[in-house]
Amino acid sequence: MPAPQCASCHTARAALRRPRSGQALCGTCFCAAFEAEVLHTVVAGRLLPPGAVVAVGASGGKDSTVLAHVLRELAPRLGISLHLVAVDEGIGGYRDAALAAVRRQAVRWDLPLTVVAYADLFGGWTMDAVARSTAGSGRSRACCTFCGVLRRRALEEGARLVGATHVVTGHNADDMAETVLMNFLRGDAGRLARGGGLGSPGEGGALPRCRPLQLASQKEVVLYAHFRRLDYFSEECVYAPEAFRGHARDLLKMLEAARPSAVLDLVHSAERLALAPAARPPPPGACSRCGALASRALCQACALLDGLNRGRPRLAIGKGRRGLDEEGPPREPQPSRPPTSEPVPDF
């Protein structure tokens, strides 16, 4: 059976059916529709005002690559300027290849690029060093917890370094639905309360952040990258296979198979969630050590680094932080080296 005509231009043959709507479109019309929807998300949500200097979190993966490409296409209409900011977490055998993809993108799209490294920002700590430090602590699977917190801080520092007024990240609808599920499963009311909306306004001096792809499905992000022939890095991080997020992802796939709208339903449920007064987190303050936004005396990044330097990384993760103020000998970060053939502790 021949492919149907494109439902938009009515001239070309359709190359796909949109996963959610079932609309048959050619590749060109699909990409135009995708860009128009991202534009609507940004404009309707008032995410990026004219004149904004936008730091695009660039990892080299499909999501950040699509985000950077779409915003580059929309920049003249939005009146914004873009600056790619990449983070080198210090993951041997993985991050170098991803950063090479980011550098190719910067050259191809004529966008400025700045790379910030964990080792420079966090007293010599890299993710490989964190993995070795936590291997015997009972938290050897928590690398993604450390990395998520430190990466957010590193991106903020990189954005400030380039004079950005806003930060954007490539989280898509599937990512956000997984996060909502994870927070429900953990019973984390504080994160559930902060998880709605398309970003954060920039409380306590932090830069405003937003997620222009939050309403776009992962399938359509991949399709856009395919039809635009985008060059991106597709290998999974060596510390990701056993991450808790993987279980949420598997659960989400089962839910989506039974109810195709499950992903967006979860995203929108987080936007509409209202907590009882007793369950609402206290207003954030400032970290006593670095001045960043914090809900406790220490922000998450400083708490994690404090635990690592004291040789007690397990005290710096999760809801309980008992022992963070206890005295203890500081621990020097171990020098970074590529992973060996031995099993590497994962999330």
3-state secondary structure the chain: CCCCECCCCCCCECCEECCCCCCEECHHHHHHHHHHHHHHHHHHCCCCCCCCEEEEECCCCHHHHHHHHHHHHHHHHHCCEEEEEEEECCCCCCHHHHHHHHHHHHHHHCCCEEEEEHHHHCCCCCHHHHHHHHCCCCCCCCHHHHHHHHHHHHHHHHHHHCCCCEEECCCCHHHHHHHHHHHHHHCCHHHHHHCCCCEECCHHHCCCEECCCCCCCHHHHHHHHHHCCCCCCCCCCCCCCCCHHHHHHHHHHHHHHHCCCHHHHHHHHHHHCCCCHHHCCCCCEECCCCCCEECCCCCHHHHHHHHHHCCCHHHHCCCCCCCCCCCCCCCCCCCCCCCCCCCCCCC
Query: Is residue 216 within 8 Å of residue 38, measured between CB atoms?
Result: yes
| Residue 295 DSSP label | S
Identify the pLDDT of residue 341: 29
| Residue 56 DSSP label | E
What are the residue ranges of helices labelled H in 201-335?
Answer: 218-227, 244-258, 262-272, 300-309
Other C-beta atoms lying within 10 Å of the C-beta of residue 141: 16
Identify the pLDDT of residue 213: 97
Identify the pLDDT of residue 164: 97
pTM, to two decimals: 0.85
CA atoms within 13 A on the CB side of 221: 22
Which two structure tokens, joined as six digits, stand for 253? Answer: 């796939």
Q: How does pLDDT run along the chain (347 residues), one tens digit per residue?
A: 678 999 999 999 999 999 888 899 999 999 999 999 999 999 999 999 999 999 999 999 999 999 999 999 999 999 999 999 999 999 998 899 999 999 999 999 999 999 999 999 999 999 999 988 887 554 445 788 888 899 999 999 999 999 999 999 999 999 999 989 988 888 877 777 766 678 888 777 789 999 999 999 999 999 999 999 999 999 888 888 767 888 899 999 999 999 988 999 998 888 777 666 666 667 778 888 888 888 788 888 999 998 889 887 754 444 444 433 333 444 445 444 333 322 322 22
| Residue 314 DSSP label | G
Identify the pLDDT of residue 319: 47
In the chain, how many H helices and how many E strands?
12, 10
What CA–CA distance (Å, rounded) separates 189 from 321? 17
